[in-house]
Amino acid sequence: MGRPKIPRRICGRPADSCFKPNGIPMTELPRVYLAPDEFEAMRLVDFQGMQQQQAAQEMGVSRQTLANLVKSARYKMSDCLMHGKALIMAAEAQEKAAG
């Protein structure tokens, strides 16, 4: 069993719960799930232009953890763009599955 995740401060929310290529039904697309902490890390670093150290403090994580989150989020977004996959915000998908 792995270590439990340290709670992270997440302030931003995506405008939509998913992004997908035009003209292809969602049922036919492979899905990639973006975790809320990956979204927040990318929002702070790439959208707001924060330095990684400052963004890590904002989220309450180490700089290395933040760097890993940003790397993972960028990979997932690139994968969706390059291979025509649907990008799903993980918190939204979990809420729908639970409800």
Q: For residue 14, which amino acid is it?
A: P
Cα separations (Å) of 67 from 27, 43, 79, 93? 33, 13, 18, 24
Higher-confidence residue of 2 and 66: namely 66
pLDDT tens sequence across 72-97: 999 999 999 999 999 998 864 444 44
The CA distance from 99 to 54, in Å, is 36
**Architecture of the CATH domain 34-98:** Orthogonal Bundle (1.10)
Extended beta strands in the chain, E state: 18-19, 31-34, 86-89
pLDDT at position 57 is 95
The two structure tokens encoding residue 9? 């401060």
pLDDT at position 15 is 63
Q: For residue 72, which amino acid is it?
A: S
Max Cα–Cα distance, the chain, nearest Å: 42
Give me the residue spans of the domains in the chain: 34-98
Mean pLDDT of 8-15: 70
pLDDT at position 16 is 67
